[in-house]
Amino acid sequence: MDARSYKQLLAVARGDAEADLVLANARVVDVFGGRVTFGDVAVVSGRIAGVGRYQGRTVEDLEGRYLAPGLIDAHVHLESSMVRPAEYARAVVPRGTTTVISDPHEIANVAGAAGVRYLLEASEGLPLDVLVNLPSCVPASHLSSSGARLAAADLLPFLEHPRVLGLAEFMNVPGAVNAEPDAVEKLLTFRGRPIDGHAPGVRGKTLAAYAAAGPWADHESVDPDEALEKVAAGLYVFLREGTAAQNLEDLLPAVTPATAARLAFCSDDRHPAELLGEGHVDHMLRLAVANGVDPLLALRMATLSAAEAFGLRDRGAVAPGRWADLVAFDDLERFHAGAVWFRGRKVAEDWRALPFDPPRAGEEGVRATVRVQPERLNLAVPLRSGRLRVIQTHEGQLITEEVRLEPTARDGKAVADPARDLAKLAVLERHGNGGGYAVGFVRGLGLERGAIAGSVGHDSHNLTVAGMDDASMRTALSAVARAGGGYAAALGDEVLAVVPLPIAGLISDEPIEAVHARMEELLNVTRARLGSRARDPFMQLAFLPLEVIPHLKLTDRGLVDVDRFELVDLWV
């Protein structure tokens, strides 16, 4: 803020000058005191000058609607929306979201620093503040093959960017806890800046060491006791409600007036269907209040608590000097965003974004990233003595289990078996680094026939395919490769549907409504032709290679026992 704007802000606050905008006759939500007051909110140069009675060049009568701070998503991977940031903003801003804390590690694992630059450029000048924590774990670990490697020195140039905060979710828990050199270098480089955490199931002395290493927050808790232990260790805890992982309702018993200051909401990964249908942070508010959380406490978590978690004193409250990022609600149960302001400018009304010019970002470094030859794959699993280690999925959760099953045998091979909900699973390196692959088995996807595949495979984003026969699996993989990335369903030699994601194999170049329609077609054909019983088997599929979420996963290098953090044999 320059001196002129500073003096003008103070003059309006004192009542000595007119505001640019006055939002009059509002029920103003005070997230500091947990109360509602009646009055006007004065805005000048994009900031709140005061709350009370003010005069302005433009006056908008809110007629008693609730006026709250703009909502904040405390942790999100924009790439998981499958659309460019401008399209993402068009979906979430009308829901009242004005700030998101983004971790671009999805695209960074594909394209490295070029991917980070792309997301920064593509999110510039939006009616939404996209703040960025730099990806801490590219690759996520030594147990998978990504398209890039980012050391601490590679991240340093980005620290000059005004929208970069600190370091994103630190997934290498063993590295942090045991003070491994690469982990120490990154954690010390970012000491004093926000460091987001990632500590699923980490408790006791391991949690103590992890918290002491530097992370400020965590979004991986799945039960209230775990969340409260992390709060007691000094971490902020984000209650997650995404497409694949839906932990919010399970964690609500941890919400009390004493803990709310250390709790916030996050989406992590959310698909177009949920963004356009259920909503964004507003959906989390509705869930919390419907389950008995006081609306004002829930709003504090969705605004001030999230801001404080990252040291953002310029937003998160309707208070003097803060950005005029505001949302008007009709009531504090449905949280219908009647209007949204960003930096004092109205950007959405009645759940519709007002027109804006999307930024232009170069995509040369994030296209043509799928380099595979699926037809050369040998997916056969010769029979051996013993039982199979099988990944057991749970819908709505990222955590998987290891189950040990007798194989279904045919012609000397272990094969998929729809009667047991047992699908074959394969992960193929797609970044041009050798084309290695591994084959395993998964239970819980609910397929009866055919195969599904995708280039979204957290976090290294290799090609992942699950199916009931090898021919369908190859067909699905080939369809994804030809599209330059995306999702596909196949039955035998027939490609049933494809959702192209040509930007890094993660992001579409189409509007969010078109991507939603394509995904609906894909899901419908997967249910109708492949007999899928899962709500979204593609989101489940995308997390099966994620070797930093317990307990058993499959990467291009093999089966990973996440608890031991090592590769294990398919047979036991």
> Model confidence over 440-489: pLDDT tens digits?
999 999 999 999 999 999 999 999 999 999 999 999 999 999 999 999 99
pLDDT of 27 higher than 80: yes
Angle at 162 between CA 159 and CA 168, to 5 degrees: 50
**Residue-level pLDDT at 244:** 81
Strands of the sheet with 451-454, listed across from one edge: 401-405, 388-392, 437-443, 422-428, 463-467, 451-454, 486-491, 494-500
pLDDT in tens, 328-363: 999 999 999 999 999 999 999 998 999 999 999 999
Do the Cβ atoms of 345 and 396 come closer than 8 Å?
no
Residue 72 has pLDDT above 90, yes or no: yes
Lowest mean pLDDT among 21-25, 175-179, 395-399, 565-569: 395-399
How many domains does the chain fold into? 3
The whole-number pLDDT of residue 245 equals: 83
- Cα separation, 10 vs 461, in Å, equals 50
pLDDT given for residue 41 in this prediction: 98
CA–chain centroid gap for 348, Å, is 23
Whether 360 is covered by a domain: the verdict is no
pLDDT at 141: 87
Of 300, 318, 353, which residue constitutes the final position of a domain? Answer: 353
User: What pLDDT does residue 434 have?
Assistant: 86
Long-range contacts, stretch 186-192, CB < 8 angstroms, 24+ apart: 186/136, 186/151, 186/152, 186/155, 187/213, 187/214, 189/152, 189/155, 189/156, 190/166, 190/214
Are the CB atoms for 126 and 160 separated by under 8 Å? no
The reply to whether 54 and 88 lie within a common domain is: no
Strand, coil or helix: what is 56?
strand
Residues 262-318 pLDDT 10s: 999 999 999 999 999 999 999 999 999 999 999 999 999 999 999 999 999 999 999
> Is the domain of 147 the same as that of 58?
no
pLDDT band at 396 (very low <50, low <70, confident <90, very high): confident
Same-domain pairing of 261 and 141: yes
Angstrom distance (rounded) from CA 144 to CA 427: 10
pLDDT of residue 535 exceeding 90:
no
pTM: 0.94
Answer with the one of 64, 97, 113 that is the final residue of a domain. 64
| Burial label, 394 (beta-carbon count in 10 A; 0-12, 13-18, 19+) | exposed
pLDDT at 145 over 80: yes
Residues 281, 418: one domain? no
CATH number, domain with residue 53 = 2.30.40.10
φ and ψ at 251, to 5 degrees? -95, -10
Cis peptide bond upstream of 459, omega within 30: yes
Q: Is the pLDDT of residue 395 over 90?
A: no
Position 465 scores a pLDDT of 98
Query: Do residues 255 and 395 share a domain?
Result: no
- Residue 2 in tokens: 């320059």
Q: Examine residue 444 and state whether it is found in any structural domain, yes or no.
A: yes
Query: Is 365 part of any domain?
Result: no
Neighbouring CB atoms inside 10 A of 435's CB total 18
Q: What is the mean pLDDT of residues 89-103?
A: 98
What's the domain range around 477?
374-568
Q: How many CB atoms lie within 10 A of CB 322?
A: 18
| pLDDT bracket for residue 243 (50, 70, 90) | confident
- The whole-angstrom separation of Cα 242 and Cα 272 is 11
pLDDT per residue over 127-137, tens digit each?
999 999 999 99
> Following CA atoms 454, 219, 190, 181 in sequence, which dihedral angle do they give, to the nearest 10 degrees?
-70
Q: Is the pLDDT of residue 225 over 90?
A: yes
Continuous segment of H or E residues that includes residue 37? strand 35-44
Rounded to 5 degrees, φ, ψ at 421 are: 55, 40
pLDDT confidence of residue 374: 84
**Structure confidence at residue 60 (pLDDT):** 98
Instruction: Write the CA distances from 161 to 124, 167, 296, integer angstroms.
Output: 11, 13, 34
Specify whether 115 is located in the same domain as 46: no
Predicted confidence band of residue 397 (pLDDT cuts 50, 70, 90):
confident
* Residue 74 and residue 157 in one domain: yes
Q: Does position 69 have pLDDT exceeding 80, yes or no?
A: yes
Q: Are residues 243 and 320 part of one domain?
A: yes
In a domain, 396, yes or no: yes
Check pLDDT > 90 for residue 392.
yes
**Residue 369 forms part of a structural domain:** no
Burial class for 358, CB neighbours closer than 10 Å (0-12, 13-18, 19+): middle
The verdict on 457 and 537 lying in the same domain is: yes
The span from the CA of 52 to the CA of 42, in Å, is 8
Mean pLDDT across 192-217: 97
- 107 & 222 share domain: yes
Q: Judge whether 361 lies within some domain.
A: no
How much is the average pLDDT of 50-79? 98
User: What are the structure tokens assigned to 72, written together?
Assistant: 């904040």
Across the chain, what does the average pLDDT equal?
A: 96
Residues near 544 by Cβ (< 8 Å), separated by ≥ 6? 391, 393, 400, 425, 427, 442, 457, 464, 466, 553, 554
Asked if 479 and 490 touch (Cβ cutoff 8 Å), the reply is: yes
Q: Which of 353, 383, 407 is the last residue of a domain?
A: 353
What average pLDDT does the segment 150-154 reach? 95
How much is the pLDDT for 224? 98
pLDDT higher than 90, residue 533:
no
| Residue 363: inside a domain | no
Same-domain status, 447 and 537:
yes
Q: Tokens in use for 519?
A: 């995904």
Share above pLDDT 70 across residues of the chain, in percent, rounded to a whole number: 100
- Per-residue pLDDT at 376: 81
Q: Cβ distance 78 to 88 under 8 Å?
A: yes
**CA 467 – CA 456 distance, rounded (Å):** 16
The CATH number linked to 238 is 3.20.20.140
Q: Are residues 302 and 266 in the same domain?
A: yes
Residue 32 forms part of a structural domain: yes
Element (H, E) at 164: strand 164-170
